[in-house]
Each structure stands twice: as structure tokens, then as C-alpha cells.
Structure 1
Amino acid sequence: MILLSQPIIRLIFEHGAFTAADTLQTAQALTCYAYGLFAYSAVKIMVPVFYALKDTKYPVIASFLAVTANIIFITLTIDILTFRSIALSTSCSMGLNFLFLGTVLYRKLTGFSLGYLGQGVLKILLASMAMGLGVIGLKQVLQPLLSGGIPLQLVGVFTAIGVAALLYGVVLHLLKLPEFDEVTGKIRQRFRR
């Protein structure tokens, strides 16, 4: 979403009164929101764990911390970052929410394997870097499509997204990420039926 923010926004919105300048600013906001997407996704998984443990106070505390951090960050950066401040503060406050809930969950569950978790995160980061480099190169190749008419943009954007996803999956498979292999195994199993 970060590397393809402009082509995606151009394809969806840059018609009629929506100008190239609007595309640029919207893409900047999307980029700032995308930074916190991992934290948002993780929080969506962690909160039900607290409910399963019958402990709802920590998600509520985390929400209050996130809202407070959001207000402080916006207040401190709105003059410098303008509209980007709101998007970036949302990502930062989600990151804080993630760190708080992760720390509390680690203590409540009397720990879990940080080494295993670290290995998984490292493999995901390596796959993300490979995907990012691939997208940067692919954007150069697809530039005529990405800056063409709507049908060409559709082909360019979906080609870039498809190749990026494929590259990410191949690298995760080569790095032998167990969770990825489990998911792909279940998908293969479903298609065999």
C-alpha cells in the first residue's frame, strides 16, 4: 500500500474534479495509515484473547492510552505535518496499543517463545523487503500502464499487486515460515476436495 499508494489512488479517485495534486495528498495520507496496519491487525487478534481470558479491562485501558496518545501526537504535529498528522497519529497510537496489549498478554500468559516470534518476524521482514524491491523495479517497468488511461491503470495496478503478493509468498515459502506453509497447506487441501 505504501509503494503503490499513488497508482491505487489515481485509479480509484482521479476522475472529474479529483486532480493529480489531490491524488498525491491522498496517497500521502494512505501511506501514513499503512504504517500502522500491522498494529491494527494484531490488536484485532489480541483483543479477543483478552475476552477469552475473561479480562476486558486491559483492552479498555489500551484504548484510552491510544486515544490520549493520538490527541497528544496530533496537537504536537498538526502544524508541521498538516493533514498527514491525523493519519500518522492513528498509526502511532495503534502501535502503542499493540505494544501495551502485547506486553500485558506476554505477562498474563507467563511468557511465550520470543525467539520463535522473532524468527517469524525476521522472515516476514525479509519477505517484505524482497517484495518492496520487486515493486520498486516493477513500477519502473509498468510506468506506461500506471500513467495511462483507466483500463491500462487497472492492468498495471493489478499486475503490480499480483506480482508483489506472489513474490512475498515465494520468499516466505523459501524461508520456510511454518505459519505460511500451514495456510497454503490448508488451501491446497480445500482445492483437493
Structure 2
Amino acid sequence: MSDIRFDIGSLHAAYQAGTGIAEVIDRVLARIEAAGDPGIFIHLATKAAMLAEAEALGSFDPVAKPLWGIPFAVKDNIDVAGMPTTAACAEYAYTPDRDATVVAKLKAAGALVVGKTNLDQFATGLVGVRTPWPIPRNAIDPRLVPGGSSSGSAVATARGIVSFALGTDTAGSGRIPAGLNNVVGLKPTVGALSTAGVVPA
């Protein structure tokens, strides 16, 4: 498969033209390897798990599932069923048996979870270096901090590993790393989205 942009429109055009979802998953994994940055993700879905989720989507149908086959990442203070939630603190880790509401809705729309991203521990920090895991490298200039607290989510998106990523934002934790990595960070109005399954900051 030739290189492909991971914005939703480009991916859906590729699927419509016959690109298989397994090929896109392979491209995701190749981009993770090419990035060579162990600080982006704290936990990655296995290829088998991603393929199983893809298989469950059925045939390409962007009307019924507007995010069909769109890869996304989840900040590791937001629950994904079967994946550890650490909030960047190994001693705090637990494995939820259900998705956070926001994750469940994205999955229902056809999106595929790639993994859980690094963050400033317990989402308290704005520079992205307060983590016991390796620090994600700024996608624009690795000499600079990635910004936080949603550091891994911003870097994963900026590097084109995923189409988008979930973060959290109390005082800039989503918008600051987005800005420092030249992507867009959106902070919804408080109460617009459910925080069920999100570790409080």
C-alpha cells in the first residue's frame, strides 16, 4: 500500500477504493516502529486485538459507522476495557472491564483503539516530562518538551500514527501539547461529554 494520510476523509476514500483495514493496521504499526519513540505509548493493543475489532465492524459502511476503521489513541487516564489504566503511575494501575463512555461511543462509531498514551502523572503537569516512562519526543523538534499533560496523545497524532487521540484538559492539558506539536486540541464545554471511566485530575 502506498503511503496514506490518516485524516478521516483520506482513510475513508482509501477504504472505498479497496484498501483493506488490515493494511491500515499494518501501516499504524509501521509508523509506531518508524517513530522509534518508546515514550508515546504506555500500552499498545496487539495486532490480533486490532484485527479482531476490525473484523467485528463488518463491511465498510461510513453511514452507519462514521468513524469506520479510523485508528485513535487514548490517554492513559481514560479506561479502555482489557487494557491497564495507569495514569502514568504503575502502583496505581488497574485493568477495567468496561470502556469509558467516550471510548465506548467512539468504538460504536467504528473507531479502532491503537493504545494508551503517556501523560504527566495523574494529568498534573503542562510540560509532558512528569512520567516514570520515557518522555515522548516533541514531533516538531525533539529538543523541546512535548507539552502536557496529554503528551503522548499529541505526539501520536502529530506523527500520523493515529487520526486523533483522546486527552483530558483542566488547565491546558490537551491544548498545550497540541500546540507544541502543531495539531489542534479541543476542550469541550464542561458537561458536554461524560467523564465516566476517566481518572479525576
TM-score by length of 1: 0.23
Name which one, 1 or 2, has greater alpha-carbon Rg: 1
TM-score by length of 2: 0.22
- Whose helix fraction is larger, Structure 1's or Structure 2's? 1
